[in-house]
Amino acid sequence: MNTHHIIKLCDRCYWDTTTETIKLHNENVPLTSNMRKVLKLLITNYNKPISSIDIFFHIWENFENEYKPRNVRNLISNIRKRIPCLSIVNYYGGSYMLKKNRESHPLFSENLIDILDQAQNGITISDPNQNDNPVIYVNHAFANAFGYTPEEVIGKNCRFLQGDDRNQPALEEIRQAMQAFKDVTVTLRNYHKSGQLIYSEVTISPIFDKKTHKLKYFLGIQKDVTSLQQLIQQIKGMV
C-alpha cells in the first residue's frame, strides 16, 4: 500500500495529505474547512511557530476582514478538543506551533523521575480527577525553592503557596485556562514556608491520556523571577 502521503502526528493519529483528513484510532475525525486549513498550515510548518495574524489571513483569505486573535484562539481550542493528543504550543505574543511527534525510548521512560528530580526549575504534577486537583508529585527544585518537603506538598492544591494573598488576577487566568484545558503562563506571588515573598513564573499544561484522550494530569513548571520583579519595582520607583 502506498503510504507516502500519510503523516503520523501522534500515537495512532495520522494526517492524509491527499484528502486532508485525520484518522484517529482508525476513525476519521470530523473537521471543518477552517480546521483543515489550520492543520495543513501547522503540519507543513512542523516545529516552527506561526503568528496568529498569519494563521488568520491564511484561513479567511480576505484582507478586508478585521483581524481578531480570538477567532484563531477559538479555532485552535476546538482542534485541541477534537484531537487532544496533538501538541499545539502557544507562544507569548500570539504564535502557535505544532510539535513533532517523538517516539518514547524505554530507557528514557525508566529514568523519567530521576530526570525531573534533577531539573533546575520547580515541577509539579497534579491530578484533576481527584477532589480539589491535589499535587501527586513535586521535584527537589520545587521543594527546595519553597522550603517544604515533598510530603508536606503532596495531597494539597498548589493554591496554598499564595496563602491569604488571593487577590491576584493571574489566579483567574489559571482557573479559566484549566477549565478550557489550555496551556497558561502567568506570574504569581507565592510564599516560602518562612513567609518570604517569591515571584514565580508559572506554566501549567494539561496532560491527556494517549488512549482515552481524557484529561489525566496538569503539569506545572515554576521559575523564580523574584530578582527580575524587584528590579522592575525599583525602575518604577525611579520614574
Where do the structural domains in the chain lie, given as residue ranges?
A: 6-98, 110-236
The b/e string for 218-228 (b: 16+ C-beta within 10 A; e otherwise) is: bbbbbbbbeee
What is the dihedral sign for C-alpha 129, 135, 139, 142?
Answer: positive
pLDDT tens-digit profile, the chain (239 residues): 444 588 888 878 899 999 999 998 889 999 999 999 999 999 999 888 898 888 988 888 665 567 778 888 899 999 999 998 888 888 766 788 898 765 555 555 567 778 888 889 999 999 999 999 999 999 999 999 999 999 999 999 999 999 999 999 999 999 999 999 999 999 999 999 999 999 999 999 999 887 777 899 999 999 999 998 888 888 877 75
What number does CATH give the domain 6-98? 1.10.10.10
Please state the pTM of the whole predicted model: 0.57
Entry field: residues in the chain? 239
What number does CATH give the domain 110-236? 3.30.450.20
